[in-house]
Structure 1
Amino acid sequence: MPDPGRRLITGFSNPTVKALRALREKKHRKAAGTFLAEGLRLLTDALECGHVPQVLVLASGRDPHPLIDRLEHAVFAAGGEVIETSADILGKITGKDNPQAVAGVYDEFDTSLAALDRAAAPIWLVAQALRDPGNLGTMLRTGDAVGAGGLILIDDCADPFSVEAVRASMGAVFTQHIAQARWEEFLPWLRGGEGQLVAASLRDAVPYRGAPYAAPCFILVGNESRGLPEQYEAACDLRVTMPMRGRADSLNAAVAGAVLAYEVLDSLEG
């Protein structure tokens, strides 16, 4: 039997199901100002970072778990709603054939540059025109791993609040600050305070190992297929190159960002 405090939904055509399912589309996320996240670990990480879902969706027939109980109590305490439904309906909401036992709806974050404190961390990741949500999620995970302050998305990037990007972030969407801006907004903001802009490049570049990195270091990566525009590279304080030993002429954008981030971390801590 469902808990009397929960709302039971049994039909695919329920308006709430339709509204939750619509959050898989960017226009509906923007209109609602919310996004979906799924999975007990991810929602638990979010809770530990102070993020409580406004709606918690539980699959009927799931195994009991104290972390689910903790989530449910937190949602009720915050005045949110807990919904119980079938695994099939939860799958329709999240778009997965084998959905997790829980999903949550969260308020989108303030993604303005003004909300960032550049002094809060020695490393920041910056991605320009990154189109793949998996790469975006991977960069968020990298940022979490190296203790970065967050990820700044420049120009037309994938939506960081898409189900795919949130899933790929493995919870880092809740630990990393996210900002979104055009290049013409970002560069004046960066030059308005301390900050070294670094990019992997072949133009007047030095080897990435042993390069003179300085905190706060903003590591810039470009589009997966086109890389960085020449004028963006020219605006960098430091351009570094990574050796390519095989036939490939470049690394995946997220991988390049991770390699460079760990080199910067080692340099700043050395």
Structure 2
Amino acid sequence: MPPVSRRRITGFSNPTVKFLRSLRDKKHRRRAKRFLAEGLRLLTEARESGRLPDMLVMAEGREAHPLVDALERDVAAAGGEIVETSAEILAKITGKDNPQAIAGVFAEFDTTLAALDRDAAPIWLVAQALRDPGNLGTMLRTGDAVGAGGLILIDDCADPFGVEAVRASMGAVFTQAIAQARWEDFLPWLRGGPGQLVAASLRDAVPYRGAAYARPCFVLVGNESRGLPEAYEAECDLRVTMPMRGRADSLNAAVAGAVLAYEVLATLNG
């Protein structure tokens, strides 16, 4: 195979560097419909999930690695661009003092509800007004771990394509379907086909262990500080409660989603 062609960038003021830096801002990401992912693990997860970056950016002097070589070959074969630059410029692009040696620019995915196949998995995660990108990334990782179909973000959530959420997902942003919708659009979509909506709650709830979960099960968590609106909880098919043995009155939203998702998985597989 002929050598892969690389474009070298040496200046901080290069237009490509400015474009890449702009992807750290939600407004510019939405305008470009592109997002940045950093690190060989994330980019390898993307490649193995059938997603390749439009642009591959690599630091000079990085250690050779067969997975990097595979990425280069596949990106070049798909018509993508490969850029080589200094570690200092890459740090400026990613906003990290000690960046990974490789990053990629990806096209944003279709995040409409219409793009989802609810029958693709027995479990789906749903988050309402989840504002912390770390929690969002954790929920994506949880979804990947339990074999969920994906994560549906309701109302005003953190940006799933933001740098912090992508990092926190540890590659699950590429393995999980992602949808974004308002509650008033999500509910008719859900009721338009099979699907049980389940939330942790104190209102008319049953113990989460041994509850009557049914597939496809949509596990709903609320905002980190406010939880779910009462009207949203009222629409759930099943409300469950988790025991709190200590002084804390609730779990972190992403942790609660993970605990509940594993219980659903155990019940559906049992």
Q: What's the TM-score once normalised by structure 1's chain length?
A: 0.98
The equivalent of 1:26 in structure 2 is 26
In the alignment, what sits opposite 1:115? 115
Question: Residue by residue, what CA displacement relative to the aligned partner does 1:110-164 show, whole Å, maximum 9, x if unpaired?
Answer: 0000000000000000000000000000000000000000000000000000010
Q: How does 1:52-91 map to 2 (within 5 A)?
A: 52-91=52-91
- CA displacement at 1:4 relative to structure 2: 7.1
CA distance in 1, matches of 2:219, 2:52: 31
Residue deviations 1:84-129, cap 9 Å, x none? 0011110111111100010000000000000000000000000000
Aligned residues: 268
In structure 1, C-alpha distance between the alignment counterparts of 2:41 and 2:169, rounded to whole Å: 12
Aligned equivalents of 2:166, 2:99: Cα separation in 1: 15
Aligned match of 1:256: 256
Q: Do the aligned partners of 2:4 and 2:76 also contact (CA within 8 Å) in 1?
A: no
Cα deviation per residue 1:216-247 (whole Å; 9 max; x = unaligned)?
A: 00000000000000000000000000000001
Q: Percent identity?
A: 82
Q: Name the residue aligned to 2:103.
A: 103
Once the two structures are TM-superposed, the CA of residue 5 in structure 1 deviates from its matched residue by 1.2
1:177 matched residue in structure 2: 177
Question: 1:28 & 1:78 partners in 2: Cα distance?
Answer: 25
SS at match of 1:244: coil
Report the Cα distance in structure 2 between the residues aligned to 1:83 and 1:139, rounded to whole angstroms.
32
Residue 247 of structure 1 pairs with residue 252 of structure 2: no
Which range is displaced more, 66-75 or 180-189?
66-75
**Structure 1 regions of 5+ residues with no counterpart?**
none
- State the alpha-carbon separation in 2 of the partners of residues 218 and 97 from structure 1: 39
Secondary structure of 2:16's counterpart equals helix
* Equivalent in the alignment of 2:150: 150
* Alignment-derived partner of residue 194 in structure 2: 194
Moved over 4 A (4+): none
SS in 2 for 1:213: coil
Q: Distance in 1 between matches of 2:4 and 2:17?
A: 20
Indicate yes or no: 2:10 matched with 1:10.
Answer: yes
The amino acid that maps onto 1:21 is R
Distance 1:213 1:97 in 2: 46
**What TM-score does the superposition give when structure 2 sets the normalisation length?**
0.98
User: Using the alignment, how far apart are the partners of 2:30 and 2:219 within structure 1?
Assistant: 28
Q: Helix, strand or coil: the match of 1:251?
A: coil
- Following superposition, the deviation at residue 35 of structure 1 comes to 0.3
Post-superposition Cα deviations, 1:50-74, rounded to whole Å, max 9, x if no partner, equal: 0010000000010111111111111
8 Å CA contact retained: 2:22, 2:28 = yes
SS of 2:199's partner is strand
Structure 2 contact 199–233 (Cα < 8 Å) conserved: yes
Number of the residue aligned with 1:216: 216
